[in-house]
Structure 1
Amino acid sequence: MLTAAIRAAMEGIFPANIVTSSSEGVPNITLLSQVWYVDEEHIALSNQFLNKTRANLMGNPNAFLRMYSEDLRPFDLRIEYLRTETSGEVFKQMALRLEAIASYMGMQDVFALRGADIYKVLEARERTHYWQRPEEK
């Protein structure tokens, strides 16, 4: 499900967008610092400033993720929130990468990893064009 192209987009330079909605259906979109490959069916997202996203996920665990490759090809993932890890190998590796990102941006005092949010990937697809509708594929 997570093709080599999708995995490469996880390592890209462009931030991903996560879209969640409250249990009442109110949407929220925010940028992410990291998308981390866990295994063929799971990813981890960096949890830094995601208060509204966190509240939404507690009422509705389904989310949508859009990532971009270095040549700006969009990739869409339908994901389901499972848990947050605050220790362990995934958390440790994500924290190290976040430190590098923060150092590069001069924001060491601002960026701090609260947790590695683990998601099950329900669907993953590459878009040929940014404007392509799902039924056009």
Structure 2
Amino acid sequence: MVKMPPEVSETLEKQWPIPFATSSSEGKPNVVFMGILKIKDDETLVFADNFFNKTATNLAENPWASVVCWTKDPRRSYQIKGKVTFAEEGPIFEEMAASVRARRADLQMRRAVIFKVEEVYEANSGPTAGERIA
């Protein structure tokens, strides 16, 4: 695992929704928008699995996922890659379930999606585009 620089966390906090990409074991991609995110610490993101279908299948075959975030002011963009596990009970699950209920009482969260940050890349245009920063 690596630690996200503070500016990456700040950028994630400003974006809604967050594109969340996965890939099957054969390399077939899938991307969904994630609306509920908690930054647990500088190494861990937690999302809510409310509707995963292809995403759940992909993550069962291949635990790697990627998110991208950006802000217009200040102009920043980052790609974050990591490995995903799930929690169906316990403190992380309960915290995310409460967050989901607070936003949408009609949703029943299935699982907490625990995303451990492994790589962070600069995604802005320019000479540093694509460079690994963490």
TM range (shorter): 0.7 to 0.9
AA partner of residue 43 (structure 1): L
Alpha-carbon separation, structure 2, partners of 1:133 and 1:5: 16
DSSP 3-state at the match of 1:2: coil
The Cα shift of 1:2 comes to 1.5
The correspondence for 2:19, drawn from 17, 20, 24, is 17
Q: Does 1:128 align with 2:124?
A: yes
Counterpart in the other structure of 1:86: 88
Deviations 1:78-123 (A, max 9, x none): 1111x21122222222222222322xxxxx32x2211111122111
The correspondence for 1:61, drawn from 60, 63, 76, is 63
DSSP 3-state at the match of 1:117: strand
Counterpart in the other structure of 1:76: 79
Counterpart in the other structure of 1:28: 30
The Cα shift of 1:13 comes to 4.7
Alpha-carbon separation, structure 2, partners of 1:23 and 1:94: 28
CA contact (8 A) 1:8 1:69 kept: no
Q: Does 1:117 align with 2:113?
A: yes
Alpha-carbon separation, structure 2, partners of 1:53 and 1:6: 24
Give the number of aligned pairs. 128
The Cα shift of 1:16 comes to 0.6
The Cα shift of 1:23 comes to 0.7
Q: Does 1:39 align with 2:41?
A: yes
Sequence identity, in percent? 29
**Please, which runs of 5 or more residues in structure 1 have no aligned partner?**
103-107
Deviations 1:17-51 (A, max 9, x none): 11111111111010001222223322222111111
CA contact (8 A) 2:25 2:62 kept: yes
Query: RMSD of the alignment, in Å?
Result: 2.5
The Cα shift of 1:6 comes to 2.1
Alpha-carbon separation, structure 1, partners of 2:15 and 2:97: 17
| TM-score (normalizing by structure 1) | 0.77
